[in-house]
Amino acid sequence: MTTTNDLHARAETLIAKERVEGISAAEREWLGKHLRECARCLEISSATQQALRSLRALSVPLPRELAARTQFRVRLRAQELQVREPRWRLIWAMCGASWVGGAATAPYVWHGLEWIGHRAGLPDLVWKMGFGVWWALPAIVAAAILLMEGSERSARRDTGGAA
């Protein structure tokens, strides 16, 4: 059995919900019928409608420079994102080109390091390690760049984006 207070509470809930989320056709029909029969809930509905009209007409003064500062920050962030994306593509393209070039010139570099190593009287292990460093250099450079970028990003996050 539904009490009168439950009906009024339901009506108040539907009045608020109708203005914010919307209500179903069945709920709208029930509310309309209830408002025709209940002066108290009709008054609440009218007051709610008047309050919303007043809020919509209300003008809140904001600092003049707020919009300019917000636009500046948005442009700055967009520029930062535009700069970062091509740079990463360039890094990957350069690493790929370096590996292709490395594979194409590996026999020549091997023979050249071997010749220099024998002429300088270096042990085979030394000039062979030189070849390994030469081959790994693009990966080392890319890893260094990634580490520096990651440390910059974490520093900005730790300082709240001020860095």
> Which of 25, 43, 23 lies closest to 35, judged by CA?
43
Query: Is the pLDDT higher at 50 or at 146?
Result: 50
Cα dihedral 115, 117, 118, 123 in deg (nearest 10): -150
d(C-alpha 107, C-alpha 79), whole Å: 44
pLDDT of residue 158: 66
pLDDT of residue 94: 78
- One-letter identity of residue 1: M
pTM score of the predicted model:
0.37
**According to the per-residue pLDDT averaged within each range, which of 20-24, 53-57, 63-67, 122-126 is highest?**
122-126
pLDDT of residue 163: 45
- One-letter identity of residue 130: G
* pLDDT tens digit sequence for 114-152: 999 999 999 999 888 988 888 788 778 877 877 787 777
d(C-alpha 102, C-alpha 89), whole Å: 20
Nearest 5 degrees, angle CA 89-CA 74-CA 68?
A: 150
Query: Is the pLDDT higher at 59 or at 74?
Result: 74
Mean confidence (pLDDT) of the chain: 82
Cα four-point dihedral sign 6, 12, 16, 19: positive
pLDDT band at 86 (very low <50, low <70, confident <90, very high): low
pLDDT of residue 40: 93
pLDDT of residue 38: 92
pLDDT band at 22 (very low <50, low <70, confident <90, very high): confident
